[in-house]
Amino acid sequence: MRTILKLTATLYDDLVQRLREPHDFAAERVAFLKCRPALSATSLLLLAGGVHQVEDGDYVDDPSAGATIGRSGFRKALQTAYTEVVSMVHVHLHEHRGRPGFSRTDIRENALFVPDFWNVQPSLPHGAVVFSFDSAVGQCWIPGSPTPARMEVAIVGSPMRCTWKVAHD
């Protein structure tokens, strides 16, 4: 089954602009896309409808990672998933062109915290994506599946953008 994250060009542009804003000590910013899942016979779509921003005070000063979210930041994201009944996709940006990749830290931490969203929305898929300026890499944890699925990313709207068929690292 194909797993596809879809977001509008406007949402994507706003997201990238926010992810590029400097932070006092974090080397990069992170956020969560709030998504509604849609299932067909051949595909699982995660339709992004908004962004849950990680507030400046919810970052932890940890030089071992580009960005570290503290407990309060995760609590707020979990509360958003619970209250709004949405799938959450953790996102960050690598500021270059070409295919990005999850770091070893990303892979380890994604596997630890993404399934935590099942504590508040156990029947919904949740995931993680790293964007570059012209590509993306994504993983999606689907309830009942032991490993994350590959996730494609499609940006829809004007101006026309590429659909990135990507595999998880």
CB 56 within 8 A of CB 24: yes
Residues in CB range of 142: below 8 A, 6 or more apart? 3, 44, 125, 148, 149
Burial class (CB in 10 A: 0-12, 13-18, 19+), 70: middle
| Omega of the bond leading into 159 within 30 degrees of 0 (cis) | yes
For the chain, the farthest-separated pair of C-alpha atoms sits apart, in whole angstroms, at 46
Output the tens digit of pLDDT for each of the chain's 169 residues: 899 999 999 999 999 999 999 999 999 999 999 999 998 889 999 999 999 999 999 999 999 898 999 999 999 999 999 999 999 999 999 999 999 999 999 999 999 999 999 999 999 999 999 999 989 999 999 998 889 999 999 999 876 665 555 444 4
Domains detected in the chain: 2-164 (3.40.140)
Q: Smallest Cα–Cα separation from 51: which of 141, 119, 131, 145?
A: 131
Q: What pLDDT is attached to residue 167?
A: 44
